[in-house]
Copies of this chain bind each other. A is one copy, B any other.
Amino acid sequence: MSASGNLMDFLDEPFPDVGTYEDFHTIDWLREKSRDTDRHRKITSKSKESIWEFIKSLLDAWSGWVVMLLIGLLAGTLAGVIDLAVDWMTDLKEGVCLSAFWYSHEQCCWTSNETTFEDRDKCPLWQKWSELLLSQSEGASAYILNYLMYILWALLFAFLAVSLVRVFAPYACGSGIPEIKTILSGFIIRGYLGKWTLLIKTVTLVLVVSSGLSLGKEGPLVHVACCCGNFFSSLFSKYSKNEGKRREVLSAAAAAGVSVAFGAPIGGVLFSLEEVSYYFPLKTLWRSFFAALVAAFTLRSINPFGNSRLVLFYVEYHTPWYMAELFPFILLGVFGGLWGTVFTRCNIAWCRRRKTTRLGKYPVLEVIVVTAITAIIAYPNPYTRQSTSELISELFNDCGALESSQLCDYINDPNMTRPVDDIPDRPAGVGVYTAMWQLALALIFKIVITIFTFGMKIPSGLFIPSMAVGAMAGRMVGIGVEQLAYHHHDWIIFRNWCRPGADCVTPGLYAMVGAAACLGGVTRMTVSLVVIMFELTGGLEYIVPLMAAAVTSKWVADAFGKEGIYEAHIHLNGYPFLDVKDEFTHRTLATDVMRPRRGEPPLSVLTQDSMTVEDVETLIKETDYNGFPVVVSRDSERLIGFAQRRELILAIKNARQRQEGIVSNSIMYFTEEPPELPANSPHPLKLRRILNLSPFTVTDHTPMETVVDIFRKLGLRQCLVTRSGRLLGIITKKDVLRHMAQMANQDPESIMFN
């Protein structure tokens, strides 16, 4: 009979906690998989017994798809609700709608009859705070009142958010992606994906985004979607009782989260595959895709942007790009890589300071101060006052004939009449020059404030701020190149492709390339980034510029350090995350890593038939190992199996309570047959059921690169080390991570959990 088969029989007995894991511990993927196969086998064999069982087996087979459907629906709905609420609350900082206070500025004016197309932003029903309270919309006092109201609302939102997080769900803070990566790699953090986290994160996300802080909703939306995934998987025993299967659902939920964040279902799936997931079988790929699509279509039917577009920033460019433009695109890539490096280093330094100094004790005050600074500096500059996604949208846009933005204030040639979507390059007007200055100031402000914002005790994503930094830099470069090409079209680099009267440079495209570069520099995403951008533009035309920038940005950033922001935060928090992307290339052997090391006391082992219950209880009390190898005898040290600490404790407790004759000096045996004992000895305790008869072993000469590979690919918790069949030691996942940290000249003590 198989080891796992034995385990299952045992699990059928009323032992509530067997097969589960303790908080902040690592799961054993092989064991989870084997448990799932057992469950599946049982259902299959039962299904032949009766029609009812057959229907139950069908339901079980379909439950995966049902969970995906539910996740897609809920994630899409939540994303839609968040979008609508953010829209309203962001406008609330500015004014209020007289006809119905729950209308946003745009909704207010759309429902008003008096609106003409030109004045679609101005309508009598929408009143700024100064108009409502002072009855004046211009002048210094009106400006000051609006300024004050803006700051007050921002402070109120931020205070509410940080208080809610502190009181109800401390796990709701941050972007959540580092923790989700760790959880998906097989780590237990109870409550991190709980219902409270879901509720509070959704509410506070709306609050913080509305407060105007320099953060985005994309990362937190992935966390929200994973909470949905966790919630729905708890409804089906197939997923709730198996930590491995549950993680398959969570991978798909992450895809759904990105799908609704950007309206990019394929990009979402690839993001989950490339960035977040650890174990991603093909079945999950297909289901993730389904969840991502359902989520995207749910969001579209809610239609929060009012334009039936699925995507967050829909853009349409009218001109192709030219080879010579690759040079500025690559420069933007370099900028993105530098920004990624600077941001990651500064942000980690600041977060470390927060963790280690008194700063960390005043999270509410910190949020209030940062919000106040943000609001005070942001208000006077139109590019920081508006919401960051609107800013990005404006920067991405091509200047059409109807565009009223300051960025499109070009000097038109009065003699030229042309179709609206093919406007030639024109000299920049005053508005463009003003915009350049304001953008430069906004860029510096964004760079600085984002470093301090990301990591505070509120939900905060950094996709949007990163993209904003890149888009501002990109747009400025784009306008620069455009004006250069206009004024110097006889230069050799422009002569071939940019004649006078041609529309050759699209500054919006530069903004998009810059955004991709900065996002890539921070997160080190590659394929998924390009695919997300491809889904935004909907054409393969601009994939080459995007790829050039993304590749450059990744190379530049990697040259300064391999870690993206998520990996850096994982390391900062000491999570036991074994990255698939890190190559382990050192020449160490299993014998160098295993415990006990030279000079340490010998490995704590159990013998198969000579230890008493009391011996084992003492061993359990004196050590904190998660399990003990079982050997034939202390002399021969030949390994026969591995027993989990948790199951040993439960089995002994259970036996003492229920089995007669089990006393402290009962012999415990792991063999099939009880050992031969003297006549008057107490009843022995059989524990073969909890013995894992197929523990994973490697020899002491195995290169560590192979051991690391095995830990990664098979998702092991521990591995025993033998030489010529004798047990020598044990390597746990923590040992592997510590060794890797040591080899990379980092502090091995930074790895904290088991």
Contacts and interface: CB of A to CB of B under 8 A. Distances in A.
A504 interface: no
Interface string A686-729: 00000001110111011101100110011000000010111000
A468 B115 CA distance: 53
Nearest to A534: B266
A282 B580 CA distance: 8
Interface in A586-602: 587, 589-590
Contacts of A726: 638, 725
Interface stretch (A37-45, A396-404, A473-481): A37-45
Indicate how many identical chains form the complex.
2
A297 interface: yes
A726 B726 CA distance: 10
Contact of A725 (B37, B310, B710, B724): B724
B703 A2 contact: yes
B2 A587 contact: yes
A530 B286 CA distance: 10
B34 A706 contact: yes
Contacts of A561: none
Contacts of A296: 540
22 contacts: A2-B587, A2-B703, A3-B702, A4-B703, A33-B706, A34-B703, A34-B705, A34-B706, A265-B540, A265-B543, A269-B527, A293-B547, A535-B540, A538-B539, A639-B724, A639-B725, A640-B724, A693-B702, A694-B703, A713-B713, A713-B714, A714-B714
A34 B706 CA distance: 7
Nearest to A608: B724
A526 interface: yes
A725 B720 CA distance: 12
A382 interface: no
A585 interface: yes
Interface residues of A, number: 71
- Chain A interface SS verdict (over half): helix
Contact of A290 (B281, B531, B547, B585): B547
A484 interface: no
A576 B658 CA distance: 52
Interface in A603-655: 632, 638-641
A581 interface: yes
B538 A587 contact: no
Given A4-B703, A725-B725, 5 more contacts: A2-B587, A3-B702, A274-B282, A285-B527, A713-B714
Contacts of A282: 274, 580-581
B5 A587 contact: yes
A695 B699 contact: yes
A431 to B, nearest CB: 35
B701 A2 contact: yes
Given A44-B585, A266-B534, A286 B526 contact: yes
B699 A37 contact: no
A542 to B, nearest CB: 12
